[in-house]
């Protein structure tokens, strides 16, 4: 292998593929980045659950492939002094030149590097990158860490009625986000939260993303990059059974006033405390209270309601996390102090948050 490549372009590709490098595998080849010089330069990395490939332009003088230690190679590329980088394999070394700097690195054979998965799918959907990032940002924080419920460790992607629905659920909270006008065969897949968190870091802020899935894998393609991920197998929780309940009580609140009241309540939770805030609704007023180890807090905000007097408890942190995505108003709907409540934005019907209440003493 003998190539000349732009440092900035190489650095960008390395920064993307290194997100798939294994950190726990005993196979040392998985600690590496695979480089193949043919029609340009292709970089690959995998931990066998997530696999990332990035193709960039390069002046290929001699074809070939190698595997380099990911951490070492990434650090070298970041510190190279000039824009033009030469890489030439000689025996078991690759010589990297940039200006007056030269590095000699030991290489592993590209033949040892595992093959990437094949995703055979006739259905490829095109999604707006910003919409996909929003959907994943909104739902990934709601995934579970519980190994006994593996399906909840991922995001459900459900194709139904020309919509793509994303659902995250951790047993205490649920978030549903919908992208409309997505034509695809009806199916449900579960993408690991680990994949989503890495994907969010590298998705562009604008542009189009190609998405395809098979029985066991999903693939995302954009800007010369391809991300493969295993899917989680199993049946996802029947979330519609909760969201379709008849929520009889309603309260409409200014988002800023509501958030400020909840933030003030959460101040009283210190040193790992996780006390519930008390939300007392009346005809035109909401009283927010929290009694903590170090003291008490109370605040009042005006609201519009279709409720009688009712008091319900919530973890204030859960509500603050949900409110990150609201604009001007919050509509809260509930049934009684022991049933889940849903939070929606009257100006945006693309998402809904559901939070379980906390039993008050």
pLDDT at 342 over 80: yes
HEC secondary structure over 73-100: HHHHHHHCCCCEEEEEEECCEEEEEECC
For residues 245 and 48, what is the distance between their CA atoms, to the nearest angstrom?
41
Output 121 or 202, whichever has higher pLDDT. 202
For residues 186 and 355, what is the distance between their CA atoms, to the nearest angstrom?
28
Q: What pLDDT is recorded for position 357?
A: 96
Residue ranges covered by each domain of the chain: 2-112, 125-236, 245-355
Could you tell me the pLDDT band of residue 227, with boundaries at 50, 70 and 90? very high
For residues 88 and 187, what is the distance between their CA atoms, to the nearest angstrom?
47
Q: What is the CATH number of domain 125-236?
A: 3.10.150.10
pLDDT at 165 over 90: yes
For residues 344 and 58, what is the distance between their CA atoms, to the nearest angstrom?
49
Q: pLDDT digit string (tens) for 192-205?
A: 999 999 999 999 99
Fold match flag (2-112 vs 125-236): yes
Query: What is the arithmetic mean of pLDDT over 212-223?
Result: 94
Coil, helix or strand at residue 193: helix
B/e letters for 46-71, b = 16+ CB within 10 Å, e = fewer, are bbeebbbbbbbebebeeebbbbbbbe
pLDDT at 292 over 90: no
Q: Quote the CATH superfamily of domain 2-112.
A: DNA Polymerase III, subunit A, domain 2 (3.10.150.10)
Q: pLDDT digit string (tens) for 80-100?
A: 999 999 999 999 999 999 999
For residues 253 and 313, what is the distance between their CA atoms, to the nearest angstrom?
17
User: What pTM did the predictor assign?
Assistant: 0.93
Q: What is the CATH number of domain 245-355?
A: 3.10.150.10
């Amino acid at each position: 292998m003998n190539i000349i490549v732009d440092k900035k372009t190489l650095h960008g590709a390395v920064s993307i593929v290194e997100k798939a490098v294994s950190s726990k595998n005993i196979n040392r080849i998985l600690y590496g980045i695979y480089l193949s010089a043919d029609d340009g330069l292709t970089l690959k990395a995998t931990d066998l659950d997530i696999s990332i490939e990035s193709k960039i332009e390069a002046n290929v003088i001699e074809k070939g492939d190698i595997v380099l230690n990911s951490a070492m190679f990434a650090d070298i590329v970041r510190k190279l002094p000039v824009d033009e980088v030469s890489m030439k394999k000689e025996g078991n070394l690759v010589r990297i030149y940039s200006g007056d700097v030269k590095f000699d690195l030991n290489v592993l054979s590209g033949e040892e590097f595992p093959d990437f998965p094949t995703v055979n799918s006739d259905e490829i959907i095109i999604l707006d990158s910003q919409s996909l990032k929003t959907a994943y940002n909104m739902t990934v924080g709601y995934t579970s860490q519980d190994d006994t419920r593996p399906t909840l460790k991922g995001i459900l992607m459900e194709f139904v009625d020309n919509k793509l629905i994303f659902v995250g659920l951790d047993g205490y909270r649920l978030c549903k986000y919908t992208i409309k006008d997505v034509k695809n065969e009806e199916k449900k897949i579960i993408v690991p939260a680990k994949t989503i968190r890495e994907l969010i870091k590298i998705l562009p802020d604008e542009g189009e993303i190609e998405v395809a899935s098979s029985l066991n894998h999903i693939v995302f393609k954009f800007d010369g990059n391809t991300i493969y991920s295993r899917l989680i197998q199993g049946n996802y929780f029947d979330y519609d059974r909760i969201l379709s309940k008849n929520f009889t009580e309603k309260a409409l609140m200014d988002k800023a006033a509501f958030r400020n009241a909840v933030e003030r309540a959460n101040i009283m939770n210190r040193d790992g405390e996780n006390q519930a805030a008390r939300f007392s609704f009346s005809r035109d007023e909401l009283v927010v209270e929290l009694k903590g180890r170090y003291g008490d807090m109370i605040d009042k905000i005006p609201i519009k309601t279709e409720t009688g007097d009712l008091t319900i408890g919530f973890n204030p942190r859960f509500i603050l996390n949900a409110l990150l995505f609201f604009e001007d108003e919050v509509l809260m709907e509930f049934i009684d102090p022991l049933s889940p409540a849903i939070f929606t934005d009257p100006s945006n019907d693309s998402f809904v948050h559901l939070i379980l209440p906390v039993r008050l003493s």
